[in-house]
């Protein structure tokens, strides 16, 4: 059996990084991977500006604060004022540039003004620099906004925009075709024949792959016979970078993926020391890579997340491919170790990571109940309070 890390490493070693790029407007780049580094062309904020609606004042910090200031100008956001003399005030609004000479903003609530004269309320203390956002304090000009290999999300889009970047180069998306094998599979929303099973892997994996940023094509359901499997695989391979299937990779007589792949291209069948999971197929058909996930829904979910996700992200051009994880205390005992590395469906509670009741590899309810997976290394018993790795899902 291959260890989990060996399986991840083998897959990643076979994953070539993308080369083709395209330029997209920021909002269209969500989920895509940056193909270049971008730096701020301006300071953010570009000028010192007011953090409050109120009055910018020029005062001498070492002297008593005057009781009143003449209001000599009004500065709204997007407009630039003129220099303030000592003991003068400017009406100012949030985001408006601080006029030269001003050294504090007094918030409106601390003042009384009649339009011509500003009075600061009794007892209000004014500190030099207060309520002023400094130029470049958020992002300095020329600071890196996004690095090559970072996945673009809403927050990074905001950062790029604030730094003056309107469009970016991203890698072309990875085209994935998903196939579901199994004579028993039935489309949800249609009546279930006797012996049928609703196809839950298909929408689950379509959702996971889309969330990851792949462009996914649904290759449909493939009956359990050699000819249909070969036809579906070669059609899928012709129009995708990666073909992913579920089921049919065990050693049963109705598992046709191995034979079909061997005829069309090449295939390695791995036994990975992972639970749930174990059988995983990796191969090639023409110019496409092929990944065969196990049929049990929880196994398909876990193997996609743990083993295949790093490979897919590498192929997408991502620099960070490991799932986010947290080290937390176990709120459960698991005295019996397993020879395989386990991923239990887990929930977060006040005492740390708990495990859901239904852990079978076909138990979808337990998966839906889980906040994440807890990783239990092979041959390792776990006692309450011990630190474990938690991967949110």
Q: What are the structure tokens assigned to 353, written together?
A: 């990571």
Q: Residues 217 to 256: which contact Mg ion by CB under 5 A?
A: 247-248
Per CB under 6 A, the list member of 201, 245, 303, 314 interacting with ligand AMP is: 201
Query: How far apart are the C-alpha atoms of 270 and 278, rounded to whole Å?
Result: 8
Q: Least separation, in Å, of the C-beta of 202 and ligand AMP?
A: 6
Q: Quick check: 33 and 151 in contact, CB under 8 A?
A: yes
Q: Does 296 bind ligand AMP (CB under 6 A)?
A: yes
- Binding region for Mg ion (CB under 5 A) out of 26-34, 71-79, 293-301, 318-326: 293-301
- Comparing CB distances to ligand AMP, the nearer of 81 and 295 is 295
Encoded one letter per residue, x for contact with ligand AMP by CB under 6 A and - for no contact, window 245-274 reads -xxx-x-x----------------------
Q: Does 149 bind Mg ion (CB under 5 A)?
A: no
Q: Does 182 bind Mg ion (CB under 5 A)?
A: yes
Q: Least separation, in Å, of the C-beta of 268 and ligand AMP?
A: 17
- Binding region for ligand AMP (CB under 6 A) out of 197-205, 269-277, 317-325, 374-382: 197-205
Phi, psi angles (nearest 5°) of residue 298: -70, -35
- Binding region for Mg ion (CB under 5 A) out of 15-23, 267-275, 276-284, 292-300: 292-300
Q: Does 297 bind Mg ion (CB under 5 A)?
A: no
- Binding region for ligand AMP (CB under 6 A) out of 289-297, 326-334, 349-357, 368-376: 289-297
Q: Least separation, in Å, of the C-beta of 14 and Mg ion?
A: 25
- Comparing CB distances to ligand AMP, the nearer of 7 and 244 is 244
Query: Which residue has its beta carbon closest to ligand AMP?
Result: 295
Q: What is the largest CA-CA distance in the chain?
A: 92
- Comparing CB distances to Mg ion, the nearer of 149 and 182 is 182
- Comparing CB distances to Mg ion, the nearer of 221 and 237 is 221
Q: Quick check: 257 and 281 in contact, CB under 8 A?
A: yes
**Long-range contacts formed by 227-235: CB under 8 A, 24+ apart:** 229/181, 229/256, 229/257, 229/259, 229/260, 230/260, 230/263, 230/264, 232/179, 233/179, 233/257, 233/260, 233/261, 233/264, 233/285, 233/290, 234/264, 234/285, 234/286
The stretches of 218-277 forming alpha helices (DSSP H) are 226-238, 257-264
Query: How far apart are the C-alpha atoms of 60 and 73, rounded to whole Å?
Result: 20
Contacts (Cβ under 8 Å, ≥6 apart) of 146: 34, 37, 38, 152, 156, 159, 160, 168
- Binding region for Mg ion (CB under 5 A) out of 287-295, 315-323, 346-354, 355-363: 287-295
3-class secondary structure, 26: helix
Number of CB atoms found within 10 A of residue 99's CB: 20
Closest among 252, 296, 251, 264 to 277, alpha carbons compared: 296
Q: Least separation, in Å, of the C-beta of 205 and Mg ion?
A: 15
Q: Does 185 bind ligand AMP (CB under 6 A)?
A: yes
Q: How far apart, in Å, are the Cα atoms of 188 and each of 150, 200, 202, 233?
A: 36, 8, 10, 23
Q: Does 11 bind ligand AMP (CB under 6 A)?
A: no
Sole residue written with tokens 């910018």:
56
Binding site for Mg ion (CB under 5 A): 182, 247-248, 295
Binding site for ligand AMP (CB under 6 A): 180, 182, 184-185, 197, 199-202, 246-248, 250, 252, 294-297
């Amino acid at each position: 059996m291959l260890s989990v890390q060996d399986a991840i490493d083998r897959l990643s070693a076979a994953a070539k990084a993308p080369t083709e790029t395209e330029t997209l407007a920021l909002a269209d780049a969500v989920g895509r991977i940056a193909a270049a580094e971008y730096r701020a062309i301006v300071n953010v904020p570009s000028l010192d500006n007011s953090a409050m609606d109120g009055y910018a004042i020029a005062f001498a910090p070492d002297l008593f604060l005057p009781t009143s200031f003449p209001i000599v100008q009004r500065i709204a956001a997007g407009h630039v004022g003129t220099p303030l003399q000592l003991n003068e005030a400017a009406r100012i609004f949030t985001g408006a540039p601080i006029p030269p000479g001003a050294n504090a903003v007094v918030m409106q609530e601390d003042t009384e003004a009649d339009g011509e004269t500003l009075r600061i309320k009794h007892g209000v203390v004014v500190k030099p620099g207060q309520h002023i956002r400094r130029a470049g304090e958020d992002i300095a000009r020329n600071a890196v906004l996004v690095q090559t290999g970072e996945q673009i999300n809403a927050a990074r889009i905001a950062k790029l925009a604030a730094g003056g970047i309107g469009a970016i180069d991203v890698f072309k998306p990875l085209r994935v075709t998903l196939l579901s094998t199994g004579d028993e599979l039935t489309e949800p929303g249609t009546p279930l024949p006797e012996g049928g099973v609703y196809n839950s892997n298909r929408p689950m994996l379509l959702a996971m792959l889309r969330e990851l940023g792949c462009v996914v094509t649904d290759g449909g359901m493939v009956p359990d016979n050699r000819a249909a499997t070969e036809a579906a695989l070669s059609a899928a391979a012709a129009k995708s970078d990666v073909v992913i299937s579920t089921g049919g990779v065990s050693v049963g007589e109705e598992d046709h993926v191995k034979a079909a792949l061997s005829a069309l291209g090449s295939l390695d069948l791995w036994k990975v020391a992972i639970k749930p999971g174990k059988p995983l197929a990796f191969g090639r058909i023409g110019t496409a890579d092929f990944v065969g996930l196990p049929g049990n829904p929880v196994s398909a979910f876990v193997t996609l997340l743990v083993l295949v996700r790093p490979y897919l992200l590498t192929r997408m051009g991502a620099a960070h491919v490991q799932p986010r994880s947290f080290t937390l205390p176990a709120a459960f005992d698991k005295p019996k170790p397993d020879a395989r590395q386990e991923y239990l469906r887990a929930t977060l509670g006040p005492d740390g990571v708990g495990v859901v009741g239904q852990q079978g590899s076909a138990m979808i309810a337990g998966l839906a109940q889980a906040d994440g997976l807890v990783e239990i290394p092979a041959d390792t018993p776990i006692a309450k309070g011990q630190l474990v790795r938690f991967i949110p899902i």
